[in-house]
């Protein structure tokens, strides 16, 4: 039995047939979904190669670049994402040729090209390539999410309330079913009267004509599920909002306000990667330079140079775009603002001051060495009372000078009016049984402290694994197990703090009180 393959469109530039990977990974134009222009991987690689050519001298003596990495249709800048798009297409083409979709490791097919064999081998054997592919897929998901949000907003803007003919046609089409006498009896008096006011009809002295039939009333409003539109809350970004696009802001806001601890941990990891992306590169003393190092020192790959070069070029392009954004941000901050800007800033500051407060311990993610000699995290046991108020309780840890006894002090902020507005009339809002075990950071070393960890932070996730209701000894045993595992590169693990149920519920409750940004 043979199955017919779906017909794919041809490339808009070379007119060759496009592959499934070309369709699955479109160009990330800033004007999407209005643009929607796409072309094959071979044309993209030719565009990237042409953009590497040196400057040329124009007729007036100026030096001009031959080709820019812009969309041929809408002219939007693609230099940040175009190499990631090529990487995803190369990997998916190699997987499709080898037949390893769905996570099944298959052998190499005889009809695979040499380039596909090298790409598949690099993807299977190199952790660097796998990490780059994961980052590229995450960026593509954020882009597609932002496109979907823009499409929803655009479709809502297209609805014109003054188009009476179209509105009447929709209303008539939705009420083609006519109510019977039995259905009229089942109607409540309020529903019947409200619905009659919407439908006018003519009557004479003898009443309504016998041919008139009352249309079926619409469903009750309470039966419809309310749709909650996502909106950005800049107070959740810890000062990194300038370096995030609209899709990333919506994605992080949705994760932070979901009320789920695992999504809270994912949001912390996303923020950590954004912070690492915008960090200033370190230079040697006495060799200060404004240039960004192009490629780190590593051994050269003979057979896999193509895909590794693509990954390095993508990193350099993203760093250049981040540097441009920093320069623009600094220029705006240093410039003398106008009076209207000052008033807008004051209004924004006043609005933020009136917002409900954030929890005392916000989710954060770090990467540390798992070895016990270097990670520098001293842990202690604690008990959670099972309430949401714990998210607004300050935890102070002190050590006795004699005997080294650890004392834990908790102070509620229940007198704060903003906290009371989040809690409502439910007091401390219990959501779990009291006496839940958890692990606190009682002391820390420079590696964790440099990444923002503080005493009193709650350890919640290690490499994606939930450590809720665990003891300090169990968490230390888990660290020892990871230290003995040879599968981790450089013995580095990801630790998430404060992604606990009380913080998740507090952020979810707070999201209903936050005023929308204008």
- CA–CA dist 429, 385 (Å, integer): 11
Please state which of the ranges 207-221, 275-289, 398-412, 445-459 shows the lowest mean pLDDT: 207-221
Question: Candidates 2.30.42.10, 3.30.70.141, 3.40.50.150, 3.40.190.10; correct CATH number of 364-511?
Answer: 2.30.42.10
- In angstroms, the first-to-last Cα distance of the chain is 58
Provide the pLDDT for residue 226: 42
Enter the tokens of residue 271. Answer: 């923020």
Please state which of the ranges 68-72, 107-111, 137-141, 297-301 shows the lowest mean pLDDT: 297-301
Which residues, other chains included, contact 219 with Cβ-Cβ below 8 Å and sequence gap of 6+? none
Render 306-318 in DSSP notation, one character per residue.
HHHHHHHHHHHHH
HSE (side-chain half, CA atoms, 13 Å) at 517: 17
Please state which of the ranges 39-43, 150-154, 238-242 shows the lowest mean pLDDT: 150-154
Please, which pLDDT band fits residue 159 given cuts at 50, 70 and 90? low
Strands (E), 370-422: 377-384, 393-399, 406-412
Answer whether residue 368 shows pLDDT above 80.
yes
Please state which of the ranges 165-179, 188-202, 230-244 shows the lowest mean pLDDT: 165-179
Q: Please, is 369 exposed, middle or buried when counting C-beta atoms within 10 Å of its C-beta (0-12, 13-18, 19+)?
A: middle
Enter the tokens of residue 273. Answer: 């990667």
Q: Where are the domains of the chain?
A: 20-115, 364-511
pTM over 0.85: no
- Helices (H), ranges, 220-338: 246-256, 261-277, 305-334
Q: What percent of the chain has pLDDT over 90?
A: 16
Answer whether residue 174 shows pLDDT above 70.
no
Q: What average pLDDT does this structure show over 418-446?
A: 86
Distances (CA, A) of 369 to 3, 99, 176, 445, 479: 51, 37, 68, 11, 10
pLDDT tens-digit readout, 258-280? 999 999 999 999 999 888 887 76
Provide the pLDDT for residue 333: 61
Provide the pLDDT for residue 131: 86
Provide the pLDDT for residue 269: 92
Q: What percent of the chain has pLDDT over 70?
A: 66
Are the beta carbons of 131 and 87 closer than 8 angstroms? no
Alpha-carbon dihedral sign for residues 52, 56, 58, 63: positive
Q: Which of 295, 467, 316 is nearest to 377 (CA)?
A: 467
Q: Please, is 236 exposed, middle or buried when counting C-beta atoms within 10 Å of its C-beta (0-12, 13-18, 19+)?
A: buried
The distance of Cα 474 from the centroid of its chain, to the nearest Å, equals 31
Provide the pLDDT for residue 116: 82
- CA–CA dist 430, 390 (Å, integer): 10
Enter the tokens of residue 181. Answer: 């006498």
Bigger pLDDT: 26 or 355?
Answer: 26
Burial 168-206 (b: 16+ CB within 10 A, else e): eeeeeeebeeebeeeeeeeeeeeeeeebeeeeeeeeeee
Please, which pLDDT band fits residue 117 given cuts at 50, 70 and 90? confident
């Amino acid at each position: 039995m043979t199955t017919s393959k779906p017909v794919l469109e041809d490339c808009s530039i070379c007119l060759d047939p496009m592959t499934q990977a070309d369709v699955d990974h479109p160009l990330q134009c800033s004007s999407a979904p209005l643009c929607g222009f796409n072309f094959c991987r071979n044309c993209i690689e030719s565009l990237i190669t042409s953009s590497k050519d040196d400057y040329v001298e124009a007729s007036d003596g100026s030096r001009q670049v031959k080709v820019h990495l812009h969309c041929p249709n809408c002219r939007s800048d693609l230099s940040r994402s175009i190499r990631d798009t090529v990487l995803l297409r190369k990997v998916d083409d190699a997987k499709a040729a080898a037949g390893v979709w769905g996570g099944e490791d298959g052998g190499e097919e005889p009809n695979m090209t040499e380039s596909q064999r090298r790409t598949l081998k690099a993807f299977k054997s190199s952790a660097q390539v796998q990490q780059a592919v994961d980052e590229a897929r995450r960026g593509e998901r954020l882009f597609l999410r932002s496109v979907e949000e823009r499409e929803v907003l655009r479709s809502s803007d297209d609805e014109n309330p003054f188009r009476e003919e179209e509105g009447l046609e929709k209303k008539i089409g939705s009420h083609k079913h006519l109510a019977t006498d039995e259905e009229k009896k089942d109607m409540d008096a309020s529903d019947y009267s409200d619905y009659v006011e919407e439908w006018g009809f003519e009557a004479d002295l003898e009443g309504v004509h016998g041919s008139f039939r009352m249309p079926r009333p619409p469903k009750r409003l309470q039966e419809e599920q309310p749709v909650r539109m996502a909106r950005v809350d800049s107070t959740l970004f810890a000062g990194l909002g300038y370096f995030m696009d609209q899709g990333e802001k919506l994605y992080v806001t949705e994760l932070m306000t979901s009320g789920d601890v695992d999504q809270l941990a994912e949001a912390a990891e996303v923020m950590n990667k954004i912070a690492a992306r915008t960090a200033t590169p370190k230079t040697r003393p006495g060799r200060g330079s404004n240039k960004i190092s192009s490629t780190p020192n590593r051994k050269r790959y003979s057979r896999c140079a193509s895909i590794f070069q693509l990954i390095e070029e993508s990193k350099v392009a993203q760093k250049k775009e981040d540097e441009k954004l920093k320069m623009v941000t600094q220029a705006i901050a240093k410039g003398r603002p106008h009076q209207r800007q000052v008033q807008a800033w004051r209004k924004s500051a006043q609005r933020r001051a009136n917002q409900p407060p954030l929890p005392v311990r916000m989710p954060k993610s770090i990467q540390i060495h798992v070895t016990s000699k270097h990670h520098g995290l001293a842990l202690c046991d604690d008990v959670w009372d099972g309430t949401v108020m714990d998210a607004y309780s300050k935890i102070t840890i002190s050590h006795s000078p004699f005997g080294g006894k650890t004392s834990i002090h908790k102070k509620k902020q229940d007198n704060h009016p903003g906290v009371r507005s989040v809690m409502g009339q439910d007091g401390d809002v219990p959501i779990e049984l009291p006496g839940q075990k958890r692990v606190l950071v009682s002391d820390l070393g420079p590696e964790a402290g440099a990444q923002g960890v503080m005493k009193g932070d709650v350890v919640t996730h290690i490499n994606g694994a939930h450590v809720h209701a665990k003891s300090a000894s169990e968490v230390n045993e888990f660290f020892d197990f990871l230290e003995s595992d040879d599968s981790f590169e450089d013995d580095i693990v990801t630790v998430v703090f404060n992604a606990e149920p009380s913080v998740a519920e507090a952020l979810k409750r707070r999201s209903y009180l936050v005023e929308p940004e204008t």
